Amino acid sequence: MTSTIPRRSSTPHGAAYVTLGQGEPLLLIHGVGLRVEAWGPQIEAFARTRRVIAVDLPGHGESVPLAADAALPDFVDWLKQVIDDLGCGPVNVCGHSMGALIGLGLALTHPASVRRVALICAVHRRAPEARAAVLDRAAGIGAGDMDIEGPLQRWFQPERSSREAHAANLTRQCLSDLSQRGYATAYRAFAEGDSVFADRLSELACPALFLTGELDNNSSPRMAEAMGAQVPNARVVVVPGEKHMVHLVAPEPVNSALRDWLRRPTQQRSGGPGMAAIDPRALRDAFGTFLTGVTVVTTMDSGHEPRGFTANSFASVSLDPPLLLVCLAKSSTSLDTFRSAAGFAVNILSEKQQTVSTTFATPVADRFGAINWRLGPYGSPVLAGVSAWFDCAVHNSVDAGDHVILIGEIKAFEAGVDNGLGYARGSYFTLGLERRAATVPPDASVTVSAIIERNGQVLLFEDAAGRFTLPTARTTAKVSAVSQLGRLVAETGLLASIGFIYSVYEDRGAQENHIVYHCIAGEGQPKVGVFLDLDHLSFDRVGDPATESVLRRFVAESRMGQFNVYFGDERRGETRRLDSED
């Protein structure tokens, strides 16, 4: 088994799942006879940039089985319940074989829950003889014939590479561990499900991917092309020389196709007369372009225990009377506490307090245990080291969609000397890093570079000698590094947000000062350069040792989800967390 698969959790309705990473959700559904481990290469590839959720089919792995007479629509309803239980919709859903049929059904019957759909090795209107054969296999499994070698022969090459042999052993283990009841129920639904949604393919409006192996006789290229021809926003990919377990045996082309699919823009769904409904995830991303500070909102509950949550939806309202507001999601476990409290405090975090923000944004048992705090004059907790705090009485609360607006009347406040912690597009930023970058002598030569990232890939240029370089511009310290970076990004033809400074170092040999920024690119093709997957980048083609070091560190830290800033020269220096002191 791959080491990337953590211990499973279970939904209230008995679906076993694993989840890794953060960001836009990618939901993976395996085929009959398998379990979440069959997605190992995809989980490893995409958990760096997305929230990946892989779920065991009913009666597989650790999931509770459905009723023995369950048909494909029942599996679709089961998956919708999983999404509702996890609160993760709308999702990008990717299914393999039986999972592909379930994903297709979900996209057609619950379109508001699906952003994009990818069908790997999906079946579509089997020929009569093929349908008879698969129904015979379903009947045999229902009678207790737990055939293992038959699927291995259909799904894998007779002469297997080491990777294919490993995948076949994993599949054999999955099949060996199956319960007969769960296998029989799912296989019968699979056998009868190839035409359940076949007449509705033209209704599929979201970006769709149909991918299969060239040698997969059961989920053939002909089937993928027939499905793709009926879908307005579809792409068809056939992987040469591969069979049914293509995502395990040939993950590189499969993951590349999935990255392309995940980059494709989603369309707004039709709403009322003369208007379109709003895509919630796209709206959240658009809100995220607004640069904000970060606050921790606190109060005392009825048991005189401190409670708090992280919020960047904060604003001043009035000077006379002195009012401010914050927004609290109705899904928050703290909602009743704050609604019934007589007051609350807003703590504006300083640029040294990213860890405090993270603590109050995640489910930690004792959020106040690791920080210094005291009761403010009006009775709510105020945190030490913040840029400012405001202790308030509740002035009003306003119901507003999926949030409640808490309006507070300021009874006491205090402003400190530290700058506030910034946040935009899912990343923290601090003015302290800009100050460190600005310590370069005014007449010194400065090289500004950009790590422009999108969906786990980075934009690289190739020089005449075939060596890779980062997008780079040379200037002097008299010119703002940020303005020079803006011109550099503009030359690529991409829209990109400027994130945090990633490296500041001096190349003593070349007498150059380097500043490397991290940026997030939007959709579209670059005018120059190409996006490459760093997991498969040949580092011996990188142009210089310093850039190679930067990229290697970026790959390692991306996997951990924690970035550091490097200060030093081209040979040695120090790394600091983004929330460390200057």
Predicted confidence (pLDDT) per residue in 364-410, tens digit: 667 898 889 999 999 999 999 999 999 999 999 998 888 899 999 99
- Angstrom distance (rounded) from CA 198 to CA 177: 32
pLDDT tens per residue, range 218-234? 899 999 999 999 998 89
**Tokens standing for residue 90:** 């709308």
Contacts of 488 (CB under 8 A, 6+ apart): 448, 450, 471, 472, 473
pLDDT of residue 510: 64
- Angstrom distance (rounded) from CA 63 to CA 67: 13
pLDDT of residue 353: 87
Confidence of residue 2 (pLDDT cuts 50, 70, 90): very low
How many other CB atoms sit within 10 Å of the CB of residue 239? 23
Which one, of 365, 375, 390, 409, lies nearest residue 295 by Cα? 390
Q: Residue 508: pLDDT above 80?
A: no
Least confident interval from 50-59, 341-350, 431-440: 431-440
Least confident interval from 1-10, 26-35, 269-278, 564-573: 269-278
Confidence of residue 3 (pLDDT cuts 50, 70, 90): very low
Place of tokens 């239980």: 85
pLDDT of residue 532: 85
Higher per-residue pLDDT: 545 or 134: 134
List the end-to-end C-alpha distance of the chain, in Å, as a whole number.
Answer: 43
Task: Measure Cα distances from 309 to 216, 344, 401 in Å.
Answer: 51, 11, 19
- Angstrom distance (rounded) from CA 42 to CA 325: 42
Per-residue buried b or exposed e for 257-286, using 16+ beta carbons within 10 Å of the residue's own CB:
bbbebbbbebeeeeeeeeeeeebebeeeee
pLDDT of residue 442: 55
What average pLDDT does range 262-272 have in this prediction?
64
Q: Residue 243: pLDDT above 80?
A: yes
- Angstrom distance (rounded) from CA 215 to CA 238: 9
Confidence of residue 25 (pLDDT cuts 50, 70, 90): very high
DSSP state of 219: S
**Tokens standing for residue 57:** 């089919």
Higher per-residue pLDDT: 451 or 429: 451
Strands 208-213 and 114-120: parallel
**Tokens standing for residue 386:** 């913040």
Place of tokens 């372009």: 289
- Angstrom distance (rounded) from CA 37 to CA 1: 7
Q: Beta partners for 100? A: none
Q: Residue 281: pLDDT above 60?
A: no
Dihedral in degrees, nearest 10, Cα atoms 555, 444, 483, 474: -60
Dihedral in degrees, nearest 10, Cα atoms 61, 64, 70, 72: -50
Confidence of residue 453 (pLDDT cuts 50, 70, 90): confident
Neighbouring C-alpha atoms within 13 Å toward the C-beta of 418: 22
Amino acid identity, position 285: D
pLDDT of residue 292: 81
What average pLDDT does range 247-265 have in this prediction?
91
Least confident interval from 123-127, 336-340, 416-420, 569-573: 569-573
Contacts of 113 (CB under 8 A, 6+ apart): 80, 83, 89, 90, 91, 106
- The answer to whether 45 touches 455, Cβ cutoff 8 Å, is no
**Tokens standing for residue 206:** 């979201």
- The answer to whether 250 touches 45, Cβ cutoff 8 Å, is no
- Angstrom distance (rounded) from CA 448 to CA 486: 10
- Kindly write down the DSSP assignment for every residue of 489-543, as one continuous string: HHHHT--EEEEEEEEEEEETTTTEEEEEEEEEE-SS--SSSEEEEGGG--GGGBS
pLDDT tens per residue, range 172-182? 888 888 888 88
Neighbouring C-alpha atoms within 13 Å toward the C-beta of 387: 17
* Number of alpha helices (DSSP H) and beta strands (DSSP E) in the chain: 16, 29
pLDDT of residue 5: 75
Percent of residues, the chain, with pLDDT higher than 90: 42
- Angstrom distance (rounded) from CA 550 to CA 543: 12
**Tokens standing for residue 80:** 């919708």
Query: What average pLDDT does the structure give for the chain?
Result: 84
Q: Residue 436: pLDDT above 80?
A: no
Task: Measure Cα distances from 453 to 129, 255, 326, 348, 471 in Å.
Answer: 49, 17, 32, 30, 12
- Angstrom distance (rounded) from CA 344 to CA 207: 45
- Angstrom distance (rounded) from CA 55 to CA 85: 13
Give me the domains of the chain, ranges plus CATH numbers: 9-263 (3.40.50.1820), 288-424 (2.30.110.10), 430-577 (3.90.79.10)
- The answer to whether 258 touches 118, Cβ cutoff 8 Å, is yes
- Angstrom distance (rounded) from CA 571 to CA 576: 16
Helix (H) or strand (E) segment spanning residue 51: strand 51-55
- The answer to whether 469 touches 545, Cβ cutoff 8 Å, is no
pLDDT tens per residue, range 185-204? 999 999 999 999 999 999 99
What average pLDDT does range 82-104 have in this prediction?
94
Higher per-residue pLDDT: 76 or 274: 76
Q: Is the bond leading into 321 cis (omega within 30 degrees of zero)? A: yes
Q: Residue 293: pLDDT above 70?
A: yes
Q: Residue 18: pLDDT above 90?
A: yes
